[in-house]
């Protein structure tokens, strides 16, 4: 299976709690997975095998619930190219650009 990109955003409902702390727990799932990833201000993007990445999203949602969220709205974006696509191919030209 080709290398793809999956971007996802979790929006946990945390009554009386710290939403950012719950989102941090979801990001920890990604960090521990070993896949290439980038955390952005609005979503986390990962690179790898589709089945593995979607399983990570599922685990991140479950981690939010385990951390006290009553529900989790999740937005997922998938960039699938049969030959594969990397994050570097898509955004590398914008990195390290002098300001």
- Mind listing the pLDDT tens digit for each residue in 7-23? 999 999 999 989 999 99
Structure tokens at 29: 């799932």
Asked whether 21 and 69 are in contact (CB, 8 A), the reply is: no
Instruction: Say what the pLDDT of residue 17 is.
Output: 85
- Cβ count near 47 (within 10 Å): 20
Q: Which domains does the chain have, with CATH numbers?
A: 4-93 (3.30.70.930)
Structure tokens at 33: 């997975």
3-state SS, residue 36: strand
Q: Flag whether pLDDT at 76 surpasses 80.
A: yes
Alpha carbons 69 and 80: distance in angstroms, whole number: 31
pTM, two decimals, is 0.92
Instruction: Tell me the β-bridge partners of 5.
Output: 47, 79
Mean of pLDDT over the chain: 95
């Amino acid at each position: 299976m080709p290398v793809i990109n999956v971007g996802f955003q979790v929006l946990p409902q945390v009554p009386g709690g710290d939403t950012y702390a719950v989102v941090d727990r979801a990001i920890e799932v990604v960090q521990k997975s070993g896949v290439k990833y980038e955390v952005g201000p609005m979503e986390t993007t990962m690179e790898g095998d589709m089945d593995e990445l979607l399983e990570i999203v599922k685990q991140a949602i479950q981690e939010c619930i385990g951390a006290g969220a009553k529900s989790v709205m999740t937005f997922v974006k998938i960039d699938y190219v049969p030959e594969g696509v990397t994050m570097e191919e898509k955004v590398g030209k914008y990195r390290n650009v002098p300001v």
